[in-house]
Structure 1
């Protein structure tokens, strides 16, 4: 079965939301951010002392669930920069916090992403906030 990018992004985002909930963590963690790490999913996971539980292993994307002392998150690596950006853009509709490096992304709570950033570097992106849904519904 061939998985499309939207299906992969949705699977990753749903996994993160199921693992992490919709909470936010410390916003005061102002550690020095290193240069973004590079490498395979396994080498990046090893840097943060995670044994990845592989969920998707295709030519375009490799995705695993990882757990560290800071919490669970989804880790994904991509064959191309374009594939990565399309995955992130689709996944951000589901909310969450995204730590983005060159051809990799880690998705989890704000606390987990900030903790990973101290080791892996990267830039944090935030998905759509759905916490206010239903508050303006009429009829």
Structure 2
């Protein structure tokens, strides 16, 4: 879907470059996955959301956690969310995924958010290019 391509640029900018590899798994107790509006999720994460996209299919905002920025997005449908994530993962990055929402940012940021919002961690493709 062409609608989601401009949103990927925002997500890529929020990632501020390629994330380094590593799988620090300091697993803490994960709460039940949060749900609700973008504003509700942002409040749970103690974020004052800077709304970037407000459409029927997706609402997307930039948030800050200390010096790190991340994207918080909510979706009208599960299918729209999965299509967005599947396309965005081609650009790498780290994703915290809940029901009809996603947070995208550096690994340490989404891991820390998980302690508040719950959800599942997913990782995008590596940024390495292969010749061919």
Output the TM-score relative to the length of structure 2: 0.89
Q: Which residue of 2 aligns with 1:27?
A: 24
> Are 1:83 and 2:73 matched, yes or no?
no
Q: Is the 8 A contact 1:97 1:125 kept in 2?
A: yes
Distance, in Å, in 2 between the alignment partners of 1:124 and 1:118 is 11
The gaps in structure 1 that reach 5 residues or longer are none
Contact preservation (8 Å) 2:50, 2:63: yes
SS in 2 for 1:4: helix
Task: Give the Cα separation in 2 of the matches to 1:113 and 1:103.
Answer: 16
* 1:16 matched residue in structure 2: 14
Runs in 1 of length 4+ with deviation above 4 angstroms? none
Q: In angstroms, what is the RMSD of aligned CA positions?
A: 2.0
Q: Partner of 2:93 in structure 1?
A: 96
Structure whose CA Rg is larger: 1
TM-score computed with the length of structure 1 as normaliser? 0.85
Q: CA deviation at 1:26?
A: 7.0
